A and B are shown apart, each in its own frame.
Chain A
Amino acid sequence: MALLEVRDLSVRFGKFQAVSGVDLTVEAGEIVGIVGESGSGKSVTSLAVMGLINAPGKVSAGAMRFDGQDLLAMPARARRRLLGSDIAMIFQEPMTSLNPSYTVGFQIEEVLAVHGYRERRKRRDRAVELLEMVGIPDAGRRLSAFPHQMSGGMNQRVMIAMSVALDPRLLIADEPTTALDVTIQAQILRLLIELQREKGMGLVFITHDLGVLAEIADRVVVMYAGEVVEMAPTRDLFTHPSHPYTHALLNALPDRALAQMQASGRRGRLPAIPGVVPGPNDRPLGCLLQPRCAFADGRCVTEHPLLHPTPGGGVRCHRPLGADGRPGPELAAGPLAGVA
């Protein structure tokens, strides 16, 4: 049984479809990376899983199960019991994600207190232990520090400490290093991976940086405009991307582009993907990538592709790319052909 199983998740804000038909599975101890541009719906997906989508957002799913428990049918109180203790989340902006009016110690001890740590002594000791675990020096004194008295990197460590305080089985990290200095990014990343390995947590790592996922993820989910367009084990994704979007993303990685240029002996510009992600008012009828896809044909314009299952995951394309990087044979449409 998978640790987290999400099927056909959709989130809508008024007229805007932020996420549609997303499937996500995370096994215990697995690191799944979700990658996509801004507006791809990757954050909204994780917030929906956590139950943090507020009105006017509407969440609907075929299934959303954590460890077999149905998250959708669960009463709010039961779900809150899971949050912070079994499923935890860390966010992108550490400087604003902590309450400026309370000490770091208060905020860490709070999550302990709410989920069962009754004795003050125990809470405090555990808090010190956690701060040391995430590499904050002089942990005892830092407990009485305020978030604004520490740097972004330190604050993110505090967030991580807070999130793993109760040994969650699943940790969702929403672009945890994006807002940090480059040198600190590597440190935080390493910290996360170490913790994941030690505790055997499932980790969902959301990012726009495909390069990071190459290093840490077991599987990668690529999202575009609110849909999953490809899922595959990391190595397969990087060596044989099936979806044109993944292919383009990989090409856009500076290292890869440089390597290719060196290999072919030609100089040129860094490839970029022309066009922009569709906004709420201009969603194409057929494939959502079609206006920007080099390989699009007539069918792509009119028919919305399904997520065709593959050995490692799936790909949402009528003619997924083959090993040679060119579109392969047409895939048959399912019984719901033409339905967006």
Chain B
Amino acid sequence: MEGFTYVDIFATKGIEYILVISALVLFYPLWRLVNTPGGAVYELARSAATTIGDWFHMPEEKIYYHLGHTWAMPEGGEVVKVGIDDFAQKLVGKIDAIKFPEVGSDMVQGERAWSLVIGDKVIDMLSPVDGKVVAVNREISTSPEKINIDPYGAAWLVKVQVPRLSANLRNLLSGKLVRKWMDGVRESLMARMNYNLGQVLQDGGVLVEGIAKNLDREKWDEIVREYFLIT
């Protein structure tokens, strides 16, 4: 048929098809690029993501944790040992002194029990149990750095006589629940790290400085109080 031509309608169609297909094809690498941070930061973040799981030593047996990062360990009878967990000590770093409760005084689960003195800041912590203080660990007051070395052993803080022990322990976390809880804690910590990751991962930096100071030099104590549930 003379004079009949597709050209006008379809002149640009070929290129349009190629454009659409290339847009779809290009979208894949774009999506990858957008969703994976590049270069050094990515490597750091990835290594952090794998190691951060092992960052905090939180035994799941025999120890019961309070959400404010204190723990209780039954000693037999009504007496329990109480202390601060590994996350808490890594968060605050070097502790200068501890303000203990008096022997014979009462502690109430979920209420302020003792305070950590770090530099010029005093940070309260919550008691994991109800009861009467029967002993405090005087060794820790002379060398508080032991908390950073052995938070669940030599660095217990107080012994408490707990009349309603089983009821108290039911309010605390143990076993598999500990891991689930710490997964959340780790995630919230990861979300905060952002660009300070490098500093945090420096060798030894974590232990001396504490994670919180690496997150925010000015308001680190507010971060700590938030994790310790002190508001």
User: Is this pair of chains taken from one and the same complex?
Assistant: no
Q: Residues of B with Cβ closer than 8 Å to A?
A: none
Q: Residues of A with Cβ closer than 8 Å to B?
A: none
